[in-house]
Structure 1
Amino acid sequence: MHKSIHAAVRCQQRGIPNLVIEWLRDFGDEIHDHQGGTIFTFTRSTRRDLERAVGRQVIRRMNEWLNAYIVVSDEGVLVTAGKRYKRIKH
């Protein structure tokens, strides 16, 4: 996936590994933001799916980044990434 300059900077500043971005793309729940983008985030059920795929031990070690989210444009470009501290409303 192609990252915008803004997204690359945010991922570096917030310490979000590329592996977590791939997991969000593959397993994350999609929420349309009504501004031309899609938010990918982990929900309780998507975390369970991820745990089945990679194993419980990996999830325990990567728990710090499971509150991350990414925003992807309609063209498939990663726009930004961050960590959630509150519930995302849709």
Structure 2
Amino acid sequence: MNMTSHARTRQSQRAVPPLIVDWLDRYGTREADGRGAEIVYFNKQSKRTLERDAGKRVVDLLGQYFDAYLVVEDEKVITVGHRYKRVRRA
């Protein structure tokens, strides 16, 4: 997935491992943010799918990163962060 320099900087500052960004891209749920971009995050179903593919032990060990999210616009990640609130659905 293509990332802007801003997204790479935020990923580093917010200590989100590249593996989590990859998993978000593959397994994450996508919701429109109402401004033309998408928020990609882990929900219960995406965590279950990831657990089935990667294994329960791996998911348990890396569970602290499952509050991470991506904001994607035009197939580019524009920022990376940690969720502190629920994602509002449209």
TM-score (norm 2): 0.94
Instruction: For residue 34 of structure 1, report the CA deviation from its aligned partner.
Output: 2.0
Q: What is aligned with 1:37?
A: 37
Q: State the superposition RMSD in angstroms.
A: 0.8
Q: What is aligned with 2:5?
A: 5
- Return structure 1 stretches of 4+ with deviation > 3 angstroms: none
Q: What is aligned with 1:80?
A: 79
For 1:6, what is the secondary structure of its paired residue? helix
Instruction: For residue 85 of structure 1, report the CA deviation from its aligned partner.
Output: 1.4
Q: What is aligned with 1:66?
A: 66
For 1:62 and 1:20, the matched residues in 2 are separated by 9
Cα shift readout 1:15-61 (whole Å, capped 9, x = no counterpart): 00111111111111110112121110111111011100100111011
For 2:38 and 2:85, the matched residues in 1 are separated by 18
Instruction: For residue 72 of structure 1, report the CA deviation from its aligned partner.
Output: 0.6
Q: Which amino acid aligns with 2:18?
A: N
Q: Where do 5+ consecutive residues of structure 2 fail to align?
A: none
